[in-house]
Amino acid sequence: MRLQGNFRRAKFLSIRGFNKTAKEEQGQALIETALVMPLLFLILLGVAEFSMASYAAIEVSSAALAGAQYGAQNPIYAADLSGIRAAAQNDAGNITLGTTTTTESCICSNGAASNCLPTSCSGSNIETILTVQTQAPFNSAFHFLGLPSAFTLHGQASQKVLQ
């Protein structure tokens, strides 16, 4: 009987000790949150900045592909530089493209090198390859130490022109 009474008393004392410890540590979670919150906020800003830069890079690459697809329809469209630029800019609706350059290169259908002259591919056809390069400036919304606040994004696409 006496053993049972001591057990109840020990249990009551441990609960009372827990309450005393809990009162001493009452503001600890608030202090930990206040210390960690700036770090979490910086990580969130970094993720947002990286997402915006990735989106803009995808837009620049997609614009180059749209311009190359426009020009690859036939040789007449391949010579239409303003149409290629317009197709690229229309595809990049949310960003402003900077320079859009177009180059043509040739190859013989048998795999030999060609200088785009009609006589350069004896016994095979000349195939024209259109390459469109786009670029756009990207200005960082948040400035981090050690990272540039502005840089240029580049996109490139090549398509074989249909004959």
Q: Which residue has the higher pLDDT, 40 or 93?
A: 40
Mean pLDDT, to the nearest integer, of 100-118?
A: 86
d(CA 38, CA 27): 18
Mean pLDDT, to the nearest integer, of 1-15?
A: 56
Q: What pLDDT was estimated at residue 36?
A: 94
Q: What pLDDT was estimated at residue 140?
A: 87
Q: What pLDDT was estimated at residue 138?
A: 93
Count of C-beta atoms within a 10 Å radius of residue 47: 10
Q: What pLDDT was estimated at residue 27?
A: 79
Mean pLDDT, to the nearest integer, of 42-71?
A: 93
Written as one string, the DSSP assignment of the chain is -HHHHHHHHHHHHHHHHHHHHHHHTTTHHHHHHHHHHHHHHHHHHHHHHHHHHHHHHHHHHHHHHHHHHHHTT-HHHHH-HHHHHHHHHHH-TTS----EEEEEEEEETTS-B--S-TTSSTTS-EEEEEEEEEEEEEE-SS--TTS-SEEEEEEEEEEEPP-
Residue with tokens 């960082």: 140
d(CA 64, CA 159): 10
Q: What pLDDT was estimated at residue 158?
A: 95
Q: What value does the mean pLDDT of the chain take?
A: 85
Token pair listed for 82: 């303003």
Q: What pLDDT was estimated at residue 155?
A: 95
Q: Report the predicted TM-score, pTM, of the whole model to 2 decimal places.
A: 0.74
Smallest Cα–Cα separation from 100: which of 78, 132, 70, 74? 132
Summarize pLDDT for 76-100 with one digit per residue, the tens.
999 999 999 999 999 998 888 999 9
Q: Which residue has the higher pLDDT, 124 or 3?
A: 124
Is-contact 138 155, C-beta < 8 A?
no
Summarize pLDDT for 140-155 with one digit per residue, the tens.
888 777 778 889 999 9
